[in-house]
Amino acid sequence: MTGRMLITGGRVVDPSSGFDGVADVLLENGAVASVAPSIPSDGARVINAKGLVVSPGFIDLHAHLREPGDEYKETILSGSMAAAAGGFTAVCCMANTKPVNDNGSITRYILEKASQAKGARVYPIGAATKGLEGKELAEIGEMKQAGVVALSDDGRCVMNARLFQNALRYASMFGLTVVEHCEDVNLAKDGVINEGEVSARLGIKGVPAPAETVVAGRDVEIAAYTGCRVHLAHISAKETVSAVRAAKARGVRVTCEATPHHFTLTEKRLETFDANFKMNPPLRREEDVAAIRRGLADGTIDAIATDHAPHLQWEKELEIDQAPNGVVGLETALGVSMSLVLDGTLSLGAMIALLTNRPAGVFGLPGGTLARGAPADVAVFDPEKSWVVDPHLFLSKGKNSPFAGTELRGKNLVTIVGGEIVYNPTDL
């Protein structure tokens, strides 16, 4: 099947070149061969994409695939398939596995599992510090050699600023970006939801926005001082958006991502004490949601990332302060992101860019483009298709979606990785 494939008659949107128009896309030997009107099929497998959007496959900078250690929540195989279902052709998996991905052996284990997976490509992110403990640097050189694409203690913040500075400088030798989970643990201590009007009323312990913003500010200064790159994960507070915007304006090498739940949902969703709306950082206020949307629109935010964090239903049915943080997102990211296009926040091209070439640029990953010779990683989706989210239909083992029961518009139909169809439930 790696021979030839022709996707005909779709609206091809390739933000890396700025191309947006009806065209055919020819894939050959695992690479993009050409994008042009009326390419003859010449015996190629043909996918009729009339009325559909043909885009570079999506790239998720931030997912938790749980393997090794918590295979009951997700495996690299199930996560890779869930990603493919959502239109993702590459997914970066965080290091907070059991054991932690803080050395080359674990990285190689993940990549071996990934090579057997049949969905999206899986790129491991290595820990910045040993055991995510924030005390000593992890074996970054060895992990780079084994194949990590970035470094992060995600789930935890590197609270020691000196160690974080060392991590940035050391990682820069290997061309690796360090991803920070901005959370001052003292400010956030025991917090469950955003500290604000809802936490005041419901008596649920709050996480104040400064828990994120003080670390974001610190990291910007360290990035400015060292000249090294830093990427801020899942930003949630309006002040963080402003901080990144200002830092970029002065030339600091900072990038950031936002999740679909943080640009659509607010703390009010916690009024039912439903842990499917509990994640870290927490859902915040309307004005934070608005600020993140502005940040997506004006280019301050570089990527839409899912922070896909599968848990089993019984875990999410624990008491609100006991239930684990996190929500799944791979299979709803497109539909939720399309709401930004429908309400005029973003053009279709800008939205696709936030899922393709822009995240690719953050870590320097292949893909995210339909340029000739690029990997034949493609998503074909129906931008008009309305559907109601039913987590039981997810390919992910995690059904903990904050969008369960929500009607979304926009659904991925075909995912192609390396020229092979890995997802095509409607047999296009």
Partner 1 sequence: MAEPVLAAFRGRHLLSISDLSADEISGLINTAHRFVEVSEREVKKLPTLRGKTVVNLFFEPSTRTRTSFEIAGKRLSADVINISAQSSSVLKGETFKDTVLNVASMNPDALVIRHPSPGTPLYASKIAGCSVINGGDGAHAHPTQALLDMMTIMEHGKSLQNIRVSIIGDVLHSRVARSNIAAFKMFDAKITVCGPKTLMPPDVGSLGVRVTHDISEAVREAEVIMMLRIQTERMAQGLFPSLREYSAQFCLDSRVMKKARPDAIVMHPGPINRGIEISSEVADGPYSVILDQVAHGVAMRMAVLYLLCGGAEQ
Q: Does 402 bind partner 1 (CB under 8 A)?
A: no
Query: Token match 């939205």: residue?
Result: 351
Q: Among candidates 306, 239, 244, 242, which has minimal Cα distance to 279?
A: 306
Which parts of 223-282 interact with partner 1 (CB under 8 A)?
272-273
The torsion of the CA quartet 86, 370, 13, 293, rounded to 10 degrees, works out to 60
Could you say which of 203, 251, 344, 373 contacts partner 1 (CB under 8 A)? 203
Give the residue with the Cβ less far from partner 1, 206 or 410: 206
Q: According to CB under 8 A, which one of 204, 216, 243, 279 is a site residue for partner 1?
A: 204
Provide the b/e sequence for 59-94 (b: ≥16 CB within 10 Å). Answer: bbbbbbbbbbebbebbbbbbbbbbbbbbbbbbbbbb
**129 beta partners:** 137
Of residues 195 and 377, the one with the C-beta less far from partner 1: 195
User: In this structure, are strands 121-126 and 150-152 parallel, antiparallel, or unpaired?
Assistant: parallel
What binding mask, one character per residue, do residues 92-131 give for partner 1 by CB under 8 A, x or -? ----------------------------------------
Report the alpha-carbon distance of residue 347 to residue 232 in Å, rounded: 24
Classify residue 308 by its DSSP letter.
B
When the beta carbons of 259 and 400 are compared against partner 1, the nearer one is 400
Of the residues 40, 43, 250, 314, which one makes contact with partner 1 according to CB under 8 A: 314
In whole angstroms, what is the distance from residue 273 CA to residue 149 CA? 37
154 is catalytic: no
* 200, 227, 366, 384: which one binds partner 1 (CB under 8 A): 200
**Residue of 113, 126, 107 whose CA lies nearest to 76:** 113
Whole-number minimum distance, CB 242 to partner 1, in Å? 20
Q: Is 202 in the site for partner 1 (CB under 8 A)?
A: yes
Does residue 392 belong to the site contacting partner 1 (CB under 8 A)? Answer: no
The one catalytic residue among 307, 321, 343, 382: 307
For partner 1, give the closer residue by CB, 1 or 318. 318
Asked if residues 125 and 154 have their Cβ atoms less than 8 Å apart, the reply is yes
Q: Does 319 bind partner 1 (CB under 8 A)?
A: yes
Q: Is 199 one of the binding residues for partner 1 (CB under 8 A)?
A: yes
Six token digits for residue 100:
């932690």
Q: Is the Cβ of residue 139 or residue 267 nearer to partner 1 in the bound state?
A: 267
Residues within the interface to partner 1 (CB under 8 A)? 195-197, 199-206, 208, 272-273, 314, 317-322
Return the active site residues.
307
